[in-house]
Structure 1
C-alpha cells in the first residue's frame, strides 16, 4: 500500500487524543485572576493573654465588681482589664479553685459587663457566680 493510501486511511479514523493545552492555559489565567482579586487578610483577632502573676491576694471567695463609671475592682481594689486577666489566670491555676463572684453596678455599661464576663470565662475559671441581682428585683417606673 502506497504512503498516500495509508495517509488517507488514517485521516478517516477519529482522533483519540484531546489537546488539553488550551484548557490548562485558561485554568492558569483563572487562577491568577482569583489570586489578584482575593483581598489580603488585614483583620486581626486580639486574644488577651496573662502577662504576669496577679498582684492581689486570691481568697476562697473573690468578687469582681464594676462600678457606675465602668471601673473594675478585685475584692474592692481597683485594677484595669489586663490586671484582672492576670488575677483571674492566677486564680484558675490554684489547686483549690476559688469562687469568683461577679457583681456589676446597676449603672455599669452592658458592654463592659459582657466583656468582663467573657474575660472571666476565657481565663479558665470554673467556679463562677452572679451576685447582687436581688437588689434589682423590683423595677421602678418613673
Structure 2
C-alpha cells in the first residue's frame, strides 16, 4: 500500500498548490516605472547662469592706479620695482591698499622660471586681503 500512495502523489501534481511566484507582472511594472522616471527627469545642461549687466557701462574718466608686481627668475617679488623680503610683507602691503576707497589694479607679471609657490602665495595673499582687481600680465610667455 505505501507504494500506491507514493505513486498517486507523483501522478497527480495538480492537487498541490503552486509555490512559485510569477515575476513577469512585477518586471513589467518595474519597466514602466523606469521609463516614466527617465522621461520625467529634467535634462541636465552644462551651463553656468550668470547675471550679466545690460547696456553700456558709464565712461570712466579717472584712470585707475596700477600696482605692478613682478616676480623674476630668482623668485624675488618686486613691488613697483622695489624688492620685497618675504610673502608676509607682501600680504601686509596688500592689506594696506585693500582699505583704500578705490583699490588699485594689481598687475602680476611672473617670470616663467619663477617658483610656482611664490606666484601662488602672492595671488593667495591678494585674495585674503580682499583685493578684487588682480590680473596676470604677460602670460603669452607660457605658451610653448
TM-score by length of 2: 0.52
Structure 2 unaligned regions, length at least 5: 1-63
Q: 1:82 offset after TM fit, Å?
A: 2.1
Correspondence list, 1:1-80, <5 A: 60-79=65-84, 80=86
The correspondence for 2:118, drawn from 105, 108, 112, is 112
Give the alignment's Cα RMSD to 1 decimal.
1.5
Distance 2:110 2:66 in 1: 16
**Residue 135 of structure 2: SS of its match in structure 1?**
strand
Structure 1 unaligned regions, length at least 5: 1-58
Distance 1:127 1:111 in 2: 21
Q: 1:87 offset after TM fit, Å?
A: 1.3
Distance 2:103 2:121 in 1: 22
Deviations 1:27-64 (CA, angstroms, capped at 9, x unpaired):
xxxxxxxxxxxxxxxxxxxxxxxxxxxxxxxx810011
Q: How many residues align?
A: 80
Distance 2:124 2:91 in 1: 11
Q: 1:66 offset after TM fit, Å?
A: 1.1
Is the counterpart of residue 95 in structure 1 residue 96 in structure 2?
A: no
Q: Which is greater in Rg?
A: 2
TM-score by length of 1: 0.52
